[in-house]
Structure formats: C-alpha cells, structure tokens
Amino acid sequence: MRAVGYQQSLPIDQDASLIDVELPRPEPGPRDLLVEIRAVSLNPVDTKVRMRAQPEAGGVKVLGFDAAGIVRGVGSESSLFKEGDEVFYAGAITRPGTNAEFHVVDERLVGRKPKSLSFEEAAALPLTTLTAWETLFDRLDVKRPVKGAANALLIVGAAGGVGSVALQLARHLTDLTVIATASRPETQEWARELGAHHVIDHSQPLAAQVEALGIGAPAFVFSITHTENHFAEIAKAIAPQGRFALIDDPKAPLDISLLKSKSVSIHWESMFTRSTFQTADMERQHEILNEAARLVDAGTIRTTLSDVIGPINAANLKRAHALIESGRTRGKIVLSGF
C-alpha cells in the first residue's frame, strides 16, 4: 500500500523529512478495524512527533492521527462496526499513523462519520473535538460552577483547530459566557462566527482586557497555545478557586506558584491518554465522537475544515507540516485520497 513516512527526524524543508513509501497492508487485531483512508487532517502533534520520535533503524515511521474512511475489515472480537461503515477517528500515538491507504485502529476510539459531512469535512474534526470535549467536560468540569466567579470561559488561542471546536461546544452545550483570544482581524472574525461572545487580543496583556468586559473574573481558562507567554496574565485574570487547563507543551517553565493564592486548580489534557494507557473508560472516545456526529448532523456544530490541499503524498504533507509549524493556521488543513 502507498504511505508517507520518514526515516529520520529532519526539518520540514529537507527533502527526506517526509517520503513516499510502499508498505505491507496491515492486519486488524481482535478489537481493531481495518480502515480504507479517504481523508486525513493535520495537527501540531504531527509536527512534534516528526521532530522527536526516531524510527527504528532501517524502518519508516508513518505519521497521521485524524482520519475519515470506510471499514474494510474487522477483528475477531469487534462488535461496534461492520464492513462498509463510514467512520472518523483520531487514533493512537503508540501505533502507525493514518498517512497510508489502509490503517488499523482500535474500534473503541472510532465514531460513525457524520452523514451530513464529506470525508474531508469529517477528517477535520476527531482529534480537536476529543481534545476540546475532554478538556471542557472531563478536566475543567465546566458544568459545575465556581461560586462567586463569573460563569465564563476564557479560551486562549481560540482560532486554531481545538479552539474552533471548543468555542462551539462551550457556546451550544453550556450557558457560559465565552471569551476568545485571537490577534488578527480574520481570526477574530472566525472566533465570533463560531460562537465567542467576546474576542480579545492575545498580543496585548489579557487581564486588563478581561476586566474591561465588565463581567467579572472568569471561572475557567483553557489555554491552547503559547501558555508560557500568557501564564502570568491568566493568573491575574482567573477567579479565585477557578480551574485552569492547558494542552500545549510550554517552552519555558510555568511558575505555578502564581496560582496558589487563588487556590486555582491545574488540569492537563492529552487526547492520547486513554489509548496510550488502555484506560478502563477508553470506549468513552467512541461515545464522544458518536455524540459529536449527532450534533453535526443536527446542525449544532460545524466542521472546522479551512483548506484541502490535495492528495495524501509527501509533497503535500510537507506543505501542510510547514503551515502548522508557522503557527498561523485557522481551522484545519485536510488532505484527500491517494
């Protein structure tokens, strides 16, 4: 089968950073599905893994997490899907990725593709939807109020993939006042389109802008990007006994003592925790994706696809990785077919 991978970690402008390869078609394990890949989307984790994870000597590492496709085989113990089902999912960081014609994935991580979306539109959603959903409802527990705080959520870096879903979930599934940060006119407008009540500029100090809204200190803060740059301002802005979540990898240590006087709790979110550690609630991701598909088909939330840049090959994936590394994307970049 055709696939795209790498043999050594290299900057994306190097010819060998991603290469077209031929690999054997994988076989599904007992709880696995064999999926024919129709579309994939890119996430920052793709670029991080490319630069950090070296393949075995002489081997090829295939990246890719988000995918939409058609089930072409099921494992001996599979019960959630059958051949011919259209699915979408974000996979596992511990297994070969989706940048291939065929892919095997544990069915407990897979949802039914929204009927109203194309494969490209569906591929934009799984990883960001799972990350946003788990952060809001499993980590921050936003439906449990913080007494005395404004019933508000501040999303820092809201115009990217995760923020684009988090804005919609917070606006349509909660009664929170949603405050987004974005620094460019086009990303600020995008955040408003997706449901932000207020948009502030994260290139300027955040706390004073939040205070100027006149709604009080927000109970919840969700930091998606460049947390190290905004952490001191977040500590000023958040309400006493508030809850703070982050998903990025800060490039400098965070002085968490800034949160002590307010007794603010800190919550990390990694969408891959359930699959990596085979947690007892691993099937929760199947449930979340099925619920997200229902919400999409009901018109409650929409795809966050922004660009489709061509078929899945090394040249197009290099382009997509470079765009992700620029830090200036809006929504999700998708590649379609081979």
H-only helix segments in the chain? 44-52, 119-123, 126-133, 161-173, 185-193, 206-212, 227-237, 273-276, 284-297, 314-326
Residue 148 has pLDDT above 90, yes or no: yes
For the chain, give the percent of residues with pLDDT over 70: 100
* Angstrom distance (rounded) from CA 254 to CA 108: 35
Closest to 67 in 3D by CA, of 45, 25, 24, 100: 100
DSSP classification of residue 25: P
Q: 327 pLDDT band (50/70/90 cuts)?
A: confident
Closest to 5 in 3D by CA, of 43, 56, 69, 39: 56
List pLDDT tens digits, range 277-307.
Answer: 999 999 999 999 999 999 999 999 999 898 9
Specify the amino acid at residue 240: P
Structure tokens at 326: 């620029």
List pLDDT tens digits, range 92-128.
Answer: 999 999 999 999 999 999 999 999 999 999 999 999 9
- C-alpha distances out from residue 150 to 105, 238, 287, Å: 41, 9, 31
pTM above 0.85, yes or no: yes
Closest to 250 in 3D by CA, of 264, 272, 271, 268: 268
Classify residue 13 by burial, with Cβ atoms within 10 Å: 0-12, 13-18, 19+. Answer: exposed
φ and ψ of 161, to 5 deg: -60, -50
**Could you tell me how far CA 198 lies from the centroid of its own chain?**
22
Strand, coil or helix: 333:
strand
Sign of CA dihedral 115, 119, 124, 128: positive
* Angstrom distance (rounded) from CA 312 to CA 319: 11
φ and ψ of 107, to 5 deg: -60, -20
List pLDDT tens digits, range 13-49.
Answer: 999 999 999 999 999 999 999 999 999 999 999 999 9
* pLDDT in the model for residue 1: 97
What lies within 8 Å, CB to CB, of 306 at 6+ separation is 124, 329, 330, 331, 332, 333
Strand, coil or helix: 163:
helix
**Number of DSSP helices (H) and strands (E) in the chain, helices first:** 10, 16
List pLDDT tens digits, range 150-206.
Answer: 999 999 999 888 999 999 999 999 999 999 999 999 999 999 999 999 999 999 999
DSSP classification of residue 176: P
* Angstrom distance (rounded) from CA 35 to CA 102: 6
Residue 57 has pLDDT above 90, yes or no: no
φ and ψ of 42, to 5 deg: -100, 145
* pLDDT in the model for residue 331: 78
**C-beta pairs of 47-51 under 8 Å, 24+ apart in sequence:** 47/12, 47/321, 47/324, 47/325, 48/249, 49/93, 50/6, 50/9, 50/12, 50/17, 50/18, 50/321, 51/9
